[in-house]
Structure 1
Amino acid sequence: MGHRGLHSAERVAEYTSAGQWGDETMDGLFRARVAAAPGRLAVVDPANKADLTGTPPRRLTWRELDEEVTGLADVLLSHGVGAGDVVGLQMPNTVELVTAYLACWRLGAVVSPLPAQYREHEVTELGRLAGFTAYLTVDRLGDRSPVREICGVKDALPALRTVFAYGEDLPEGVVAAVPVPGARERVEAYAAEHPADPNDCVTICWTSGTESTPKGVPRTHYDWLAICWATVDAPRLTADDVLLNPFPMVNMAGINGMFLPWLRVGGVLVQHHPFDLPTFLRQIAEEKATYTVAPPALLSMLLARPELLAATDLGSLRVLGSGSAPLPPAMVRGWQEKHGIGVINFFGSNEGIALLTDPHDVPDPEQRARYFPRYGVPGVEWTSRVSKWVSVRLVDDATGKEVTEPGVPGELRIKGPTIFPGYLGGANLASPFDEDGYLRTGDVFEIAGEDGRFLRYVDRAKDLVIRGGMNIAPAELEDLLSAHPAVAEVSVVGYPDEILGERVCAVVVPAEGAAPTLEDLVSHLRDRRIASFKLPERLELRSSLPRNPIGKVLKRDLREELM
């Protein structure tokens, strides 16, 4: 697949003439931030970075960050990475991860970020799909060595030419991410000869849908820079904000929730990884964070344990964001009444949905927890500029007719400048768009509230488990588990957890005479080198799985049994 001109000429004309897309690029935005405040603090490492990568945490100004970006861009360029190349990126949330994105974008390369937890199984699969020509990682991540993992599977990735890494202990043939003198002149000359087009691909993220194979989600400067206004406007971000980022910068939550809004307004980005509650609370206090995001289960738990919050100075926090699961109204109300902090309710996806209910538009915490904006209702105004750009509708799955009555469930469909151009290799996949060009989200909502101004989330038609904000496709685990000789049938579902939101349960019908244990199944999956966050933490044995008349497993029934 080419990585230039992803949106059709008709879409580009429509959204540029409406002023919703412009000539901005990621590198242009970064350069503007550097020029505006070169000496101001820009980015801060996780407090526990030494435990994570063996290197001390750092704090960089915009000028210092620009120097590192230019230096890394030169290393990549001198080893053959240039415009249109796809760079696999597997790093924890650190200053270097920010540098890596910006260095690739300075050259016009495409970043395909992978969660730090991914292992050889996922890296090989996604590297083949995206055609990684380069890979950038670290020598150490806790007790693992991601650079040795990628070197071990390099032969399985025919397009992969060069592996780059941060760190000291690098295998033979790996290029160290250490700049050499003269970088700026070479990089600026290359950038001038290869100007970015806003319709070029800048990222390929990965979505865990209902299929066992993840789908690549290419995005351009155009649609990323449009959707990031949603996450700038809802928390009312300015250059004075300090953003504490606990979500991995690998998909919509981390990139559009934190990274791009920071790039847009020019505040301070404080990185956090992996999630650790004492470190998180300490960073809020020490860095004077004004805005952060957290899963609803965590925010509920903190309210239920006031002794944790009493020991933390929350005085700097203006607003919180939360999502990936329905928000309990009591949690939203509790933060507002006890701490004076409004919680923004997020509903987003890699493909480009951005429904945000914020405290300015919806002051009532009960409504804010339950509802999302239904953009386009006559006479109803929302303050986010995205509300005027995006068109939403609900469609009855059975009849194909638009739903206009309150309380009737329908699939959310959405259209506008925030939406991606289509899946990687889309010619071989079913189109995610309907005949009117709306994205079929697979998520079920209903119209609610006075004068139908809201949407209420009903169900996840896409059968995902969301564990601590990370999407897990049950189909992938079911495929792998069904190969175990002791498994006759298997269904994978989520069950509630007060910290992570959900954990993974395997419901298994054993093969005749077999008695599989959780340890057996986890060991089987570990042998397949999959990411550890996907591993089941519970096993239920059944004589049969509940099915509907056409044989489909009734996962909702299983989930209810596990509550």
Structure 2
Amino acid sequence: MPDTSQQPRLDFFAEAREHPRRTALIDEHGRATSYERLAARADRLARGLRAAGLRRGDCVAAVIGNGPAYFELRLATWQTGLYFTPINHHLAEPEIGYTVENSEAALVVVDADLAPRCGPALDTTDVPPRRRFTVGAVPGWRDYEELFAGMPASPPEDRTAGEVMLYTSGTTGRPKGVRRPLTGGPPRLGRYHLDFMARLGIHPGTGTHLVLSPLHHAAPGTFATAALHFGHTVVLAGSRDPEPVLALVERHRVTTTFTVPTVLHRMLRLPAAVRARYDTSSLRSVVHAGAPCPVEVKRRAIEWLGPVVAEFYGATEGSATALTAAEWLSAPGSVGHPLPGAEVRILDEQGDPLPPGEIGAVYFRSGISGIEYFKDPAKTAAARHGGFITAGDVGYLDERGWLFLCDRRTDLILSGGVNIYPAEVEGVLLSHPEVVDAAVIGVPDEEWGQSVLAVVQPAPEAADGLADRLDAHCRAGLAGFKVPRRYRFDRELPRTDTGKLSRRSLRAPYWSA
């Protein structure tokens, strides 16, 4: 592994000054943006945000897809001491409204085609119309380009580091804002990010990073933005279908990408002859995380792509472990050993450390300190033990200190790398008048890892066709990926005398193998 001890802390804008004509971004339509142009746009936007009245510590929220605006906003807020909250554009109106309001967003940017859904959502918040912008003209909204108008393409005065504040769902079903304190220092990529990327085989210099996942999620946004700081070109894929992805790898000589096991599985399902048509020899690091990767899928991926398949374990709250393909082959099933500055502990129910091989709750601390759930000290305290935090996973450490996961959060459903919390879905189901009780569990799914099954106790007066009515009801209040794929109707759900739901007995028929 290259020695990173003498490497400078990196800054996208310094890269733009040194390599102005290098391609920074290629969008899904093949349109290229240079480092010089992207930096100029980010500088003008930074000045525009300040001219709009935003000050250090304010938040800018965005409901946008993968495109140049994401990077303009992230880079502009990063150098003006602002928080940036990208919001999943698949969320329903109430979910968008809650996130905007909870984040205390002072200004919101949305894609034009999302305005019909975002408008009513923002009407439930304190964001005034003068601070609502659309990327593309929409009657009744301000045009995003107004933020750039009349602003010079030069760095703003008093540059200071901003932060990204992402939202992750909690066991109560309400999203939690993961907030880090502003450093007060200059905007630059620090030692933590350099060390993390180096462990995964990603280094500064030339390269091409392929974006396969929505940038509003933590890892895809982090890897893509780090690529720009490193001087790489970022390519946005319009599709995650296997063959078009392989065509992009060959066409752009892609060196790095982040993905989820579902995508690897889909690629491996292509006939070997089809996979062989595309040159993937440029790849240096294919990183995956976000869901359990079956051992056989990963082994086959390494056999096909070579020793470039890396993995890390963490959450929106931070990253804890990583490992290379060679390391994984020596310990199949492991999610790695601690990153520099990180530490992992396995604790029992009393909070005491467990020895190697003993299964317990996974707690970790990353190289980033001061993380809290915004405006929710109770949830922050509940997730902590000393200086360690848990995402609710269960696992063990081996004698070498390598982490193995046994259960990916007992109640959490991980479908295609996306977190789905049963309590949130159950709350929507229970609001339907024909439902007496409801439980939501994850069941095995060959393609997605898990899919959502709703076990419902219907009211005595419920008529035929309840599943269709529940589906429509859920789609009105939840993002599509959270809506149950299947419904099962039981006379009564298994609950203890205290009213606690026995999810284990519901899961048993599906997971007994």
Fold conserved between structures, TM > 0.5: yes
C-alpha deviations, 1:299-345, integer Å up to 9, x for none? 13322332442343323223322222222222222222234243212
List runs of 5+ in structure 1 lacking aligned partners: 1-18, 48-56, 140-144, 376-385
List runs of 5+ in structure 2 lacking aligned partners: none
Give secondary structure in 2 for the equivalent of 1:151. helix
Q: What residue in structure 2 maps to residue 536 of structure 1?
A: 484
C-alpha deviations, 1:20-48, integer Å up to 9, x for none? 9x996xxx72222212322211111124x
Please list, as runs of the form range in 1=range in 2, the aligned pairs for 1:18-417 lying within 5 A after superposition: 29-47=11-29, 57-139=30-112, 145-160=113-128, 161-168=130-137, 170-178=138-146, 182-184=150-152, 188=155, 191-192=156-157, 194-196=158-160, 198=161, 202-220=163-181, 225=190, 227-229=192-194, 230-256=196-222, 258-273=223-238, 275-306=240-271, 307-360=273-326, 362=327, 364-365=328-329, 367=331, 369-375=332-338, 386-387=339-340, 389-397=341-349, 399-406=350-357, 408-417=358-367
C-alpha deviations, 1:115-172, integer Å up to 9, x for none? 1212312111111111121111111xxxxx212322233331124451112113x122
Give secondary structure in 2 for the equivalent of 1:442. strand
Q: Answer yes or no: is the 8 Å Cα contact 1:209–1:462 preserved in 2.
A: no
Task: Supply the distance in 2 between the matched residues of 1:556 and 1:502 (Cα, whole angstroms).
Answer: 15
Q: Answer yes or no: is the 8 Å Cα contact 1:91–1:138 preserved in 2.
A: yes
Partner amino acid for 2:26?
V
Task: Supply the distance in 1 between the matched residues of 2:164 and 2:410 (Cα, whole angstroms).
Answer: 23
Q: State the identity as a percent.
A: 25
Task: Supply the distance in 2 between the matched residues of 1:555 and 1:494 (Cα, whole angstroms).
Answer: 10
Q: Answer yes or no: is the 8 Å Cα contact 1:492–1:505 preserved in 2.
A: yes
Give secondary structure in 2 for the equivalent of 1:116. coil
Q: Answer yes or no: is the 8 Å Cα contact 2:11–2:229 preserved in 1.
A: yes
Q: C-alpha displacement at 1:409, in angstroms?
A: 0.8
Partner amino acid for 1:163?
R
Q: Answer yes or no: is the 8 Å Cα contact 2:199–2:323 preserved in 1.
A: no
C-alpha deviations, 1:241-261, integer Å up to 9, x for none? 2111112222322123x1243
Task: Supply the distance in 2 between the matched residues of 1:30 and 1:224 (Cα, whole angstroms).
Answer: 9
**Match status 1:437 vs 2:405:** no
Task: Supply the distance in 2 between the matched residues of 1:424 and 1:331 (Cα, whole angstroms).
Answer: 38
Q: C-alpha displacement at 1:366, in angstroms?
A: 6.1
C-alpha deviations, 1:225-252, integer Å up to 9, x for none? 4543313431233322211111222232
> Residues 232, 246 of structure 1: CA spacing in aligned structure 2 closer, same or farther, 3 A cutoff?
farther
Partner amino acid for 2:490?
R
Task: Supply the distance in 1 between the matched residues of 2:141 and 2:147 (Cα, whole angstroms).
Answer: 17
Q: Answer yes or no: is the 8 Å Cα contact 2:453–2:486 preserved in 1.
A: yes
Q: C-alpha displacement at 1:440, in angstroms?
A: 3.0
Q: What residue in structure 2 maps to residue 382 of structure 1?
A: none
Moved more, 479-488 or 145-154: 145-154
- TM-score, normalised by the number of residues in structure 2: 0.89
C-alpha deviations, 1:81-101, integer Å up to 9, x for none? 343221111111112211121
Q: Answer yes or no: is the 8 Å Cα contact 2:438–2:457 preserved in 1.
A: yes
Give secondary structure in 2 for the equivalent of 1:133. strand
Q: C-alpha displacement at 1:221, in angstroms?
A: 6.1
Q: C-alpha displacement at 1:421, in angstroms?
A: 2.0
Moved more, 83-92 or 71-80: 71-80
Q: Answer yes or no: is the 8 Å Cα contact 1:495–1:503 preserved in 2.
A: yes
> Residues 297, 251 of structure 1: CA spacing in aligned structure 2 closer, same or farther, 3 A cutoff?
closer
Give secondary structure in 2 for the equivalent of 1:183. coil
Q: What residue in structure 1 maps to residue 461 of structure 2?
A: 513
C-alpha deviations, 1:500-531, integer Å up to 9, x for none? 32222211111113255332112112333x32
Q: C-alpha displacement at 1:483, in angstroms?
A: 0.8
C-alpha deviations, 1:443-485, integer Å up to 9, x for none? 111122xx33322101133522222222222111110110111
> Residues 517, 226 of structure 1: CA spacing in aligned structure 2 closer, same or farther, 3 A cutoff?
farther
Give secondary structure in 2 for the equivalent of 1:156. coil
Q: C-alpha displacement at 1:274, in angstroms?
A: 5.5
Task: Supply the distance in 1 between the matched residues of 2:189 and 2:505 (Cα, whole angstroms).
Answer: 38
**Match status 1:458 vs 2:406:** yes
Task: Supply the distance in 2 between the matched residues of 1:221 and 1:233 (Cα, whole angstroms).
Answer: 26
Q: Answer yes or no: is the 8 Å Cα contact 2:200–2:324 preserved in 1.
A: yes
Give secondary structure in 2 for the equivalent of 1:253. helix
Q: Answer yes or no: is the 8 Å Cα contact 2:134–2:141 preserved in 1.
A: no
